[in-house]
Structure 1
Amino acid sequence: MKQGDIITIDRSQMGGTGYYYYPVLLTGGVALLGTKNELVRDDGGDMEVGSPETQYFTFQFLHTGKAEIQLARFRAFDSEDILYEDVMTFEVESSESDLLGAWSLFEELDENDRAVFDKAVSGLTGVSYLPEQVSKQLVNGTNYRFFSYSRPAVLGTHRFPSILKVHVSTDGSVELQGIDRVVL
């Protein structure tokens, strides 16, 4: 594995049993990016009660060195009935994040990143954005993904995480290409 690589691990179980898989051990800078459950359909495209269900876990390796992932199967209402899987061990090597087309790992913003961010959000109203980290991709110009906390300008609302996607062309023009709310 290389630093920054993303993998997906899937597990299947019978629907209706109440059993689900959960990550119970993540070491060495492994981040859980997301999960997804999907019911398995029969050949006719129908779902039966008790049909198999597949869970997908997406992880990213953030640091070099040894990383470990362990999943366990259990029911939330029965803490005595737990099946721990073997620990999966990965050796994570460094990668060249500045290669053309490759995304860098998220890192702290420097003065230039802050200037790009400020220019991209200037003129936006209704929500304030506080950038925390940035990831970059060298293409025809530079793509930026700013991990930020967003706060709507409505009394009593709470902040939520978001990713702001920005492109800076080779002539220096800055374009906000999208804002995605991060659901944790």
Structure 2
Amino acid sequence: MSAQENLVGGWTPYHELTPKDQEVFKQALEGFVGVHYTPELVSSQVVNGTNYRYKAEATQPGSPNSWQAIVEIYAPINGKPHITQIIRI
């Protein structure tokens, strides 16, 4: 871990997803319907747990259109990660 990743409250620069980042995203979007999000990059912030901001490509089933979105997820120290906000960009 870099010094920046250890800094409580500071966001890391966006970077490629690690297997752990991918697992958090998968758990938080389990059962999510309507729009499909494919994570491309992630930034994280250590708090009481970890906040994640995923830059993702969004698509709707049956539509050729796609757009970019920020999917914000909170992963508590104990418990399942969950979506806190999705912002279309």
Normalised to the residue count of structure 2, the TM-score between the two structures is 0.90
Q: Residue in 2 aligned with 1:132?
A: 40
Distance 1:97 1:160 in 2: 30
SS in 2 for 1:114: helix
Normalised to the residue count of structure 1, the TM-score between the two structures is 0.45
Higher helix share: 2
Question: How many residues are matched?
Answer: 87
1:168 and 2:88 correspond? no
Q: Residue in 1 aligned with 2:14?
A: 106
The answer to whether the 8 A contact 2:44-2:51 is kept is yes
How far residue 109 of structure 1 moved from its aligned partner, in angstroms, is 0.3
SS in 1 for 2:4: coil
Distance 1:175 1:129 in 2: 14
Runs of 4+ residues over 4 Å off in structure 1: none
Deviations 1:71-102 (A, max 9, x none): xxxxxxxxxxxxxxxxxxxxxxxxx4220000
1:120 and 2:28 correspond? yes
Deviations 1:118-170 (A, max 9, x none): 11111111111110000000000000000000001233x41100000000111
Q: How does 1:1-184 map to 2 (within 5 A)?
A: 96-98=3-5, 99-155=7-63, 157-182=64-89
Structure with higher RCO (Cα < 8 A, 6+ apart)? 2
SS in 1 for 2:9: coil
Q: Which has the larger radius of gyration?
A: 1
The answer to whether the 8 A contact 2:37-2:59 is kept is yes
The answer to whether the 8 A contact 2:29-2:83 is kept is yes
Q: Name structure 1 gaps, 5 residues minimum.
A: 1-95
Higher strand share: 1
Q: Name structure 2 gaps, 5 residues minimum.
A: none
- Identical positions, percent: 34
